[in-house]
Structure 1
Amino acid sequence: MNYCSFFVAGTAALWLASTGAYATGVVPETSVVIVEQDDGEGAINVQNTDAFPVLLLTRLIDIPDDPETLLIVTPPAARVEPGKTQRVRFIMTSKEPLKTERLKRVTFDGVPPQKKGKSEVRTTVRQNLPVIIRPAGLERDLAPWKQLTWKVNDNSLTVNNPSPYVVRLGQGVQTLPDKTRWILPNAYVLPGQTLTVTPEGGKTMGVAQQVRISPATTWGYTVDTYDQTLSR
């Protein structure tokens, strides 16, 4: 364990030493973190909305499909006073030009101080956000899910992402008009990735012509469901 990890873990343990519990938390300003390779970094503001100071702990997480370390976060731990905001930076460590968007995740924990003489702990509410790293010069696509290709074959549904964009969407999708439900393994389809699933509950699909998905934009905006024609 390096010094930084030891400091974060040790400080959190000291602040949490007690018994009993009730909840608290911190609030990021957006629902996704964007890091532009052109800039070499990205940032997000995290506010302490509580009436007491908290220790803001920030941790980057590699997804199983992409374990390569591309970022560091600073500061990994910071005291944030009531009502105040802490800016957290995500700095690129790789100088190699990226060819596609990359996906990581980040967690924010607001750890409250122990109350002296009180046998209680204020537990944290963890915020878990996606982090999208965008290659230098890559054009913005406000609807990257339209580039997905979907097909059905032998009671299976396959989705492929031929684009350079990370596509985020709800794991539950539905084929139409048979209304068969399918569950994707993740809430994203990475660039170049192909996923194949079978109907939820082991059912047999009916006649399907379209697939209905619930996508999310790169920048976290809510959009309507989207219907796309299936290929075979």
Structure 2
Amino acid sequence: MTLIKQPILLITSALLFFCFYFQPLAYAGSILIWPIDPVIEDEQNATAIWLENQDSKPAYMQIRVLEWQQRSGENQYQRQSDISVSPPFVLIEPGKRQLVRLVKNIKMPANQEKAYRILVDETPRAKKDNESEDGQSVSIGVKFQMRYSIPLFVSGQGIWTNPDYNKNRDIKTATAPELSYQISNLDGQSYLSVRNDGKVHARLSKLNSLSGNKTTPLVDGLVGYVLPGSVMRFPISKNNRASSYDKLQALINNDPDPVQLLKR
């Protein structure tokens, strides 16, 4: 099994990598993508994303799904067969949109969640004689022009994290991660180390420190993701010492209210 660490993103020197987590739409360059937080729950067999070409030229896109793990504080990606993509290659004319289905091939055990990354690569149009009959391959040496990456989470029975207005869910009853943290300083840079002992991922954003009645923003936007059973380290405000942080709070997943983190 081939493990691919985060440098997979550096396929060419001109490659750009975009991650969008909070906007209802992801947009960079000429491609609009939504939704940007798809999930496949236990009773669902598939989900879908939309790709829209807002450029004046046709866009040829390759869509893949990689299994996502976190080990030793690093994101790692590997090829997988749990999720199928249909279609894996699309040609989108200017102003048009394309539906891409993500089909689940596994039965997730109850109370478990698996994480994946959907990679959408904008590529030059491959020659037909370089494609297989089912369109599953691209000619060797193709250079990616733009890359879009969004998370995909597949959950078993008893777990959910995203709102579903058809089910009239209360987001306060969503499955929550179990987080604890440490702060360290190295060469004037502070780092936040977050451990997730829960059953579902944690998406941290809007990180603030609390000292008495004073709230100090540390990270205004996305901090990052911590998968179940993983520990991740994130840089935070430079030139601040760990002793200056009394308590920390952040937005976790889709809960609109800040959650206080537990210190290890």
Bin the TM-score by the shorter chain: 0.5 to 0.7
Equivalence for 2:67 = 62
Give the Å deviation of 1:151: 4.8
Equivalence for 2:180 = 150
Equivalence for 1:33 = 38
Tell me: CA distance 1:194–1:112, structure 2 relative to 1, closer, same or farther (3 Å): closer
Equivalence for 2:83 = 71
Equivalence for 2:96 = 84
- 8 Å CA contact 2:209, 2:248 repeated in 1: yes
**Residue aligned with 1:163, SS:** coil
Relative to structure 2, which stretch is displaced further, 65-74 or 48-57?
65-74
Tell me: CA distance 1:99–1:111, structure 2 relative to 1, closer, same or farther (3 Å): same
Larger Rg computed on CA atoms: 1
**Residue aligned with 2:94, SS:** coil
For residues 124 and 183 of structure 2, the distance between their equivalents in structure 1, rounded to whole angstroms, comes to 53
Tell me: CA distance 1:202–1:136, structure 2 relative to 1, closer, same or farther (3 Å): same
For residues 56 and 198 of structure 2, the distance between their equivalents in structure 1, rounded to whole angstroms, comes to 46
Equivalence for 2:155 = 134
Higher strand share: 2
**Residue aligned with 2:40, SS:** strand
Structure 1 unaligned blocks of 5 or more = 1-22, 115-122
Question: Under a length normalisation based on structure 1, what TM-score does the superposition of the two structures give?
Answer: 0.63
Tell me: CA distance 1:104–1:180, structure 2 relative to 1, closer, same or farther (3 Å): same
Structure 2 unaligned blocks of 5 or more = 1-27, 71-75, 127-143, 163-170, 186-190
Residues 183-222 of structure 1 mapped to structure 2, 5 A cutoff: 187-195=224-232, 204-206=241-243, 208-217=245-254
Tell me: CA distance 1:201–1:43, structure 2 relative to 1, closer, same or farther (3 Å): same
Give the Å deviation of 1:58: 0.7
Match of 2:180, as an amino acid?
Answer: W
Equivalence for 1:43 = 48
For residues 39 and 176 of structure 2, the distance between their equivalents in structure 1, rounded to whole angstroms, comes to 21
Give the Å deviation of 1:180: 9.9
**Residue aligned with 1:126, SS:** strand
Equivalence for 2:120 = 108
Tell me: CA distance 1:199–1:206, structure 2 relative to 1, closer, same or farther (3 Å): farther
- 8 Å CA contact 2:182, 2:192 repeated in 1: yes
| 4+ long deviations beyond 4 Å | 143-147, 151-158, 178-182, 194-204
**Residue aligned with 2:243, SS:** coil
Give the Å deviation of 1:47: 1.2
**Residue aligned with 2:242, SS:** coil
For residues 147 and 233 of structure 2, the distance between their equivalents in structure 1, rounded to whole angstroms, comes to 31
Question: Under a length normalisation based on structure 2, what TM-score does the superposition of the two structures give?
Answer: 0.57
- Larger relative CO (CA 8 A, sep 6+): 1 or 2? 1
Report % sequence identity: 22
How many aligned residue pairs are there? 193
- 8 Å CA contact 2:179, 2:194 repeated in 1: yes
Equivalence for 1:119 = none
For residues 187 and 199 of structure 1, the distance between their equivalents in structure 2, rounded to whole angstroms, comes to 11
For residues 175 and 145 of structure 1, the distance between their equivalents in structure 2, rounded to whole angstroms, comes to 25
Match of 2:260, as an amino acid?
Answer: Q
RMSD between aligned alpha carbons? 3.9
- Which of 148, 161, 168 in structure 1 is aligned with 2:203? 168
For residues 154 and 50 of structure 1, the distance between their equivalents in structure 2, rounded to whole angstroms, comes to 45
Give the Å deviation of 1:133: 1.1
Equivalence for 2:105 = 93
**Residue aligned with 1:46, SS:** strand
Tell me: CA distance 1:149–1:42, structure 2 relative to 1, closer, same or farther (3 Å): same
Equivalence for 2:146 = 125
Higher helix share: 1
